[in-house]
Amino acid sequence: MLKRIFYTLLMLLLGAGAFAQQDALFTQYMFNNLYVTPAFAGVDGVTRLTAVHRSQWLGYQSSFGDGGAPTSQLVTFNTPIYKLKSGFGAYIMNDKLGPQNNLEAQAMYAYHLGIKESKLSFGIKLGLYSQTVNGKYYRYIQEGDPLIVEGKESQVRPDLGLGIFYRAEKYYAGVGFNHLLRSKFDFGADSVRGALENHINFTGGYFYEVSFDLKVQFSAAVRTDLNKTQVDFAGIAHIKDTMWGGLAFRQSEAASLLLGYSIFKDKSLKIGTAVDFIVKDQAAKENFSLEFMLSYDLPVNPGSGKKVVRTPRYRH
């Protein structure tokens, strides 16, 4: 394991090439760290529901009729458990990739360790990963091959992940380890196996206070399958803790514009959007990807015995 981690860090330093996407990715990752690492569950001290829809390469249509452009939907929930110094989280993720559809249902638990004015959290997630293939969208080289999938076939496998998250007043960092079981999908053919590859996701951010009404959030995400690596960077300005806007860049893929607004007096409801402008391989894709986010923080339960100080920088 130490050798693998060292190898991963070396790849990051050397700037590895584009990442072969297996897990769904989201441009607004900095507002939903629960998807990056299970250790984020309950860290910010509020109960939150978040929903994200992403349409990648908007308008793309294959000339072979293989199901159209990729789309992804993610719904997350997380809440603190004060008496246990911990948190609970869960998410459902649906990822449609042409003839293949991936569906995840994960439950998470995180233990929070207070270190002076900061917090170190350790998390685990356990769930199910379903994969469905639609044979009518595949183009076969050899008709009549016994391995050809006829119609739709689905399989469900167990899934396991671990994570660590550290949060201080002005910065945070986390890491998530996904698909540790490396579950395989064979669809009835022993010689055809598609395994879930181990993934390591890093995230981090820093908040710089320009003035009382203006804060700038710098964030980064690194995704690797121990073979290829992808890096995201973003800079987002938060104005009066009510609205935000910024720019992001995804290595070898896209530049993005992010905008959002907080509704209600307590800023509990947030609406965000991101538009990706494709900068590489435009001939094989459409020029834009579009993403919408809706997030709601539930009212604090007076019976919890904890007075929650709502710090906007941690409420996304």
The sign one gets for the Cα dihedral 112, 30, 58, 196 is negative
| Cα 193 from Cα 189, distance rounded (Å) | 8
All domains of the chain, ordered by start, with CATH?
2-314 (2.40.160.40)
Instruction: Please list the pLDDT of the chain residue by residue as tens digits (316 residues).
Output: 333 433 333 333 333 333 445 789 999 999 999 999 999 999 999 999 999 999 988 776 666 656 678 899 999 999 999 999 999 999 999 999 878 899 999 999 999 999 988 999 999 999 999 998 887 776 677 776 666 677 788 899 999 999 999 999 999 999 999 999 999 888 766 545 577 889 999 999 999 999 999 999 999 999 998 888 899 999 999 999 899 999 999 988 889 999 999 999 889 999 999 999 988 765 556 678 999 999 999 987 654 444 444 454 444 4
Concatenating the DSSP letter of every residue in 122-191 gives EEEEEEEEEEEEEGGG---SSTT-TTPPPSEEEEEEEEEEEEEEEE-SSEEEEEEEE-TT--EE-TT-TT
Angle formed at CA 192 by CA 189 and CA 195, multiple of 5 degrees:
120
Q: Which residues contact 45 (CB under 8 A, 6 or more apart)?
A: 80, 306, 308, 314
DSSP, res 44: T
**Range list of H helices, the chain:** 2-14
pLDDT at 216: 97
Q: How far is CA 254 from CA 1, 225, 230, 250, 293, in A?
A: 32, 20, 12, 5, 19
Residue with tokens 């022993």: 190
